[in-house]
């Protein structure tokens, strides 16, 4: 159950990012200098790794949806993923990055963006960038562990109330 919730959350996140306003819409409302600084911030903060992870998650979710709609056609789905879906997602990445820059430019002043850039170029931020994936993985384990513990602790009471336990 937790993996289903996690997948649904990641799909919503990916959909939100990939349905962000187009470059033209966002930039028409934002200072071009701030946009340039926001793009520099995105580069300094290594958001490309996150972008690639979100793209991979989106591709995985789309593959699962297509597979679910086409049971027993694994080879065709794999081929469609390689030839259609992956290139289409990749094609949208620049607009996603432009939209992300516009979002940062909307919420931060030029000076704040300069400060953020300086931070992300600092040694401590570089270290954060290196260890963040491990920290994130460890933090993802916590809800699964606690959720399983809570279900075990409350199983008898849930059953007394006539409720079934979720299957794992």
Tens digit of each residue's pLDDT (9 = 90 or more) over 104-157: 999 999 999 999 999 999 999 989 888 988 898 888 888 888 988 999 999 999
How many domains, in total, are found in the chain? Answer: 1
Tokens 């007394």 belong to residue: 160
* Of the ranges 5-14, 80-89, 130-139, the best mean pLDDT one: 80-89
Q: Is residue 134 part of a domain?
A: no
Supply the pTM of this predicted model: 0.57
133 in a structural domain: no
Range from 45-49, 63-67, 146-150, 162-166 carrying the lowest mean pLDDT: 45-49
Query: What residues make up the domain containing 109?
Result: 2-121
Q: What is the DSSP string of 30-64?
A: S-HHHHHHHHHHHHHTTHHHHHHHHHHHHHHHHHH
Helix 32-44 to helix 86-107 angle (10° resolution) is 120
- pLDDT score recorded for residue 3: 44
- In this structure, is residue 136 part of a structural domain? no
């Amino acid at each position: 159950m937790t993996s289903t919730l996690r997948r649904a959350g990641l799909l919503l996140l990916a959909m939100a990012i990939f349905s962000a306003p187009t470059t033209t819409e966002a930039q028409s409302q934002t200072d071009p200098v701030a946009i340039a600084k926001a793009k520099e911030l995105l580069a300094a903060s290594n958001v490309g790794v996150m972008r690639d992870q979100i793209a991979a998650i989106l591709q995985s979710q789309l593959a699962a949806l297509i597979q679910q709609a086409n049971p027993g056609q694994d080879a065709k789905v794999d081929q469609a993923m390689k030839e259609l879906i992956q290139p289409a997602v990749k094609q949208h990445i620049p607009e996603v990055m432009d939209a992300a820059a516009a979002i940062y430019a909307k919420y931060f002043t030029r000076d704040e963006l300069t400060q953020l850039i300086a931070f992300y170029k600092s040694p401590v931020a570089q270290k954060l960038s290196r260890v963040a994936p491990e920290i994130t993985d460890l933090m993802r384990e916590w809800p699964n562990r606690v959720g399983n513990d809570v279900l075990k602790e409350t199983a008898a009471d849930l059953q007394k109330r006539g409720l079934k336990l979720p299957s794992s």
